[in-house]
Amino acid sequence: MPIDILQLCPLMPSLEAELASRYTVHRWFEADDQPAFLKENAANIRGAVTGGHVGIANALADVLPNLEIVAINGVGFDKVDLERARKHGIRVSNTPDVLTADVADLAIGLIIAQARQMALADAHVRTGDWPKAELGLGTRVSGRRTGIFGLGRIGKAIARRLEGFDAEIAYCGRVRQDVPYGYCATLEELARNCDVLIIAAAASAKTYHAVNAGVIDALGPKGVLVNVARGSLVDEKALVTALREGRLGGAALDVFENEPHAPEELFAMKNVVFAPHIGSATHETRKAMADLVLANLAAHFEGETLPTPVV
């Protein structure tokens, strides 16, 4: 018998095609009448495929009595209630490791783009302003004091890349590690002792708004905040206020609290660089992520060990 899968968000076309060839896929995000869909199909759903930024709401999981697995196309699992999943025997998988290099690369790219005004420079040439005026000076990237909040897989990959820029590297995390970098016991202490603060920690209840007004003020009017983790880690209102008042030197952001919406107050600020949550957005990594989603689903339904289990 075919296995019914609930797809909770758009995925890469090749992944969608492969899912459709293996399972009966229901596209929840396109359902015109979701209550009617649930009435007819809820009991048949055995798996859910979702993005890390979407997860699965408890209200939906509660009405899927035969849900067995939630396969996340992404590394973050903060939008899945893991305690509930354990209680109900629901497996949860994600796609770690395969996106580490790309996210780390993007972090370095954002640092360079913000410091060297890359977006402004591109526009300066494209609009024909170069013959009329100088762009103005940027900031040197090499040799800066850089702090990393969250020295996990991605944090370490970022640190290794920063070594090539002669950076003075420090970090803050749940535990002190055996690494050749400075350690700060608190995020505020880390911010106070760096020029660039990179957010690479996992999203959780404990890290929600970890970058608050106090941390931002500790980073100071010459400091730069770089976020490649989750928007929820940063108090966006405090960030906007600090940038508007000149209490923070700049920001480079790939993630936001209310995606796909970024704070419009920042759009006109020349010291802010944006990216639309593209940390893993390369052909190579998205294929590897898709392969892991499929492998986790196949392993579960064949009674085998999940390649990358969360629960």
In a shared domain, residues 119 and 236 = yes
**Tally of domains within the chain:** 2
Q: Calculate what percentage of the chain has a pLDDT beyond 70.
A: 100
299 contacts: CB under 8 Å, gap ≥ 6: 305, 306, 307
Residue pLDDT, tens place only, 99-127: 999 999 999 999 999 999 999 999 999 99
Contact 213, 239 (CB under 8 A): no
Residue 172 in any domain: the answer is yes
pTM score of the predicted model: 0.94
In a shared domain, residues 164 and 45 = no
Residue 25 in any domain: the answer is yes
| Catalytic positions | 230, 259, 277
Residue 311 in any domain: the answer is no
Residue 309 in any domain: the answer is no
Edge-to-edge strands of the sheet including 145-149? 182-183, 168-172, 145-149, 196-199, 224-227, 250-253, 272-274
For residue 107, give the H/E element and its range: helix 100-115
In a shared domain, residues 155 and 256 = yes
Residue 307 in any domain: the answer is no
Start-to-end C-alpha separation, the chain: 26
In a shared domain, residues 110 and 65 = no
- Give the pairing type, strands 224-227 and 145-149: unpaired
Assign 206 to helix, strand or coil: coil
Contact 186, 134 (CB under 8 A): no
In a shared domain, residues 290 and 270 = no
Q: Which two tokens stand for residue 27?
A: 């596209």
Residue 56 belongs to domain with CATH number: 3.40.50.720
Residue pLDDT, tens place only, 168-191: 999 999 999 999 999 999 999 999
In a shared domain, residues 136 and 158 = yes
Give residue for tokens 């859910």. 48
Residue 157 in any domain: the answer is yes
In a shared domain, residues 127 and 28 = no
Give the CA count within 13 Å in the CB-facing half-sphere of 164.
Answer: 6
Contact 61, 79 (CB under 8 A): no
Residue 40 in any domain: the answer is yes
In a shared domain, residues 43 and 111 = no
Instruction: Domain of residue 61: give its range.
Output: 4-98+284-301
Contact 239, 216 (CB under 8 A): yes
Q: What is the pLDDT of residue 140?
A: 98
187 burial level (CB within 10 Å; 0-12, 13-18, 19+) = buried
Contact 254, 281 (CB under 8 A): no
In a shared domain, residues 80 and 152 = no
Contact 89, 311 (CB under 8 A): no
In a shared domain, residues 139 and 149 = yes
Q: What is the pLDDT of residue 44?
A: 98
Residue pLDDT, tens place only, 251-296: 999 999 999 999 999 999 999 999 999 999 999 999 999 999 999 9
Residue pLDDT, tens place only, 124-160: 999 999 999 999 999 999 999 999 999 999 999 999 9
Q: How far apart are CA 271 and CA 96, in angstroms?
A: 32
Residue 204 in any domain: the answer is yes
Q: What is the pLDDT of residue 214?
A: 98
Give residue for tokens 């979702």. 50
Residue 1 pLDDT greater than 90, yes or no = no
In a shared domain, residues 44 and 27 = yes
In a shared domain, residues 63 and 126 = no
